[in-house]
Amino acid sequence: MDLKSKFHPNILTKAEITKLIRQKSLDIGFTDVGFSRVRVLSEEIDNYKRWLNNSYHADMEYLANNFYKRFDPSLLVDDAKTVISVIINYYPKELQNNDTYQVSKYAYGRDYHKVIKGKLKQLSKYINEEITPIKYRFFTDSAPVLDKKWAQLSGLGWTGKNSLLINKKMGSFFFIGELIIDLELDYGSPIKDACGTCTKCIDACPTDAIISDKIIDANKCISYLTIENKSEIGSIFTGNFNNNIFGCDICQDVCPWNSKAKPTNENDFSPKEDFLSLNNEDWAKLDKTTFDKIFNGTAVKRAKYEGLKRNINFISKKPQ
């Protein structure tokens, strides 16, 4: 009996196939995996429309495109049955010194899009070749998919007041990816919100970007202002960036659930040589050649050299 016959869904139960996929996901290097049944997320549509109508997405017009695909995975994969949600810890083994300009921890190492897509490609190949032929597509923050919602429905965490997914065992320093397939599996269940009355993330945001429970105004968010924003940063924010020149981790750093954060086992997320040794004088003198050497292949390239220098110059200004 060949491997495909051995693992054919007519022989194995849904529970057995789900277990195989779970184990393969962990073997590939994902920290955890969850499974949710494909359906139309009709309860999310009005909330998302309201968020867009309030212009909380700033000038990120791609967040308004392909509107209905965001709520219905069957518009992305024909006859889709299951969303497999994977998460992978990125919390660094070493951190920058607190007294230097800060880069968000997610961008220390290799661009997560490449890392996660590579692992999802392995997982989809395994299912397609070793279990049964499937129709599938995989994504990580690169398509109209409500990744946090699907991960939440699968039981991987709950949505915190800072709008990030929080996992009881590992906090929120992780990436999310999805593999949408046309195969039925066993499904998880959402878990209870465990933020309680805590408002530390809301209270700590220096630009008041968390305007209410789970709602973010990107126009005020340091992550947006230092990465996606292509314009000059408004003087209203002078002195409020807390040394953040690329992204921001403030609302995660203060979250009690992140006291459980442990260093990642993924070597690709380790910082490139020379990054951690940069001090403010080095950042101020940063030239294009050095920028390319240190940050090529990382998410920092998203801001480009000109954007990073803009951010450094903005933070170096003194409040009037």
In this model, does residue 7 exceed pLDDT 80? no
The pLDDT mean for the chain works out to 95
Q: What is the per-residue pLDDT across 285-308, written as a single tens digit (0 to 9) for each?
A: 999 999 999 999 999 999 999 999
Instruction: Give residue 84's pLDDT.
Output: 98
> Between vectors from CA 205 to CA 90 and to CA 85, what angle results, nearest 5°?
35
Is-contact 83 150, C-beta < 8 A? yes
Q: Is 282 helix (H, G, I), strand (E, B) or coil?
A: helix
SS3 43: helix
Q: Are 295 and 220 in contact, with CB atoms under 8 Å apart?
A: no
Helix axes of 14-28 and 112-126: crossing angle, nearest 10 degrees:
140
Question: What is the rounded distance in angstroms from the CA atom of residue 126 to the CA atom of residue 304?
Answer: 36
- Whether 161 contacts 211, CB under 8 Å: no
Q: Are 185 and 17 contacting, i.e. CB atoms less than 8 angstroms apart?
A: yes
Residue 3: the pLDDT is: 47
Is 282 designated active site?
no
Amino acid identity of residue 127, one-letter, is I
| Residue whose pair of structure tokens reads 């009005």 in the numeric block | 46
Q: What span, in angstroms and rounded, lies between the C-alpha atoms of 217 and 97?
A: 29
pLDDT of residue 245: 98
320 pLDDT exceeds 90? no
Residues 165-195 pLDDT 10s: 999 999 999 999 999 999 999 999 999 999 9
Active-site residue identified among 79, 141, 208, 274: 141
What's the mean pLDDT in 78-102? 97
* Residue 10 backbone dihedrals phi, psi, to 5 degrees: -75, -15
Give the whole-number percent of the chain exceeding pLDDT 70: 96
| % residues pLDDT > 90 (the chain) | 92
Cβ 242 vs Cβ 102: under 8 Å = yes
Tokens read off for 162: 């800072």
**pLDDT(240) > 90:** yes
Query: pLDDT-derived band of residue 155, with 50, 70 and 90 as boundaries?
Result: very high
> For position 129, what pLDDT does the model report?
96
Instruction: List, for residues 99-154, the tens digit of each pLDDT value.
Output: 999 999 999 999 999 999 999 999 999 999 999 999 999 999 988 999 999 999 99
DSSP 90: -
CB atoms within 10 A of CB 261: 21
The Cα-based distances of 81 to 155, 169, 183, 270 in angstroms read: 17, 28, 6, 36
- Distance between CA 172 and CA 164 in Å, rounded? 7
Res 8: pLDDT: 60
For the beta carbon of residue 251, count every other beta carbon within 10 angstroms.
Answer: 26
Q: Span 25-45, mean pLDDT?
A: 98
Contact indicator for 36, 85 with CB cutoff of 8 Å: yes
Q: How confident is the model at residue 9 (pLDDT cuts 50, 70, 90)?
A: low
Q: What is the pLDDT of residue 1?
A: 34
Q: Rounded distance, CA 64 to CA 52, Å? A: 7
Evaluate whether 52 touches 213 at the Cβ level (below 8 Å): no
Residue 25 has pLDDT above 70, yes or no: yes
pLDDT given at position 260: 81
Q: Is 155 helix (H, G, I), strand (E, B) or coil?
A: coil
* Mean pLDDT score, 23-36: 98
The whole-angstrom separation of Cα 223 and Cα 155 is 27
pLDDT of residue 318: 58
For residue 272, name the pLDDT band (cuts at 50, 70, 90).
confident
Residue 2 has pLDDT above 50, yes or no: no
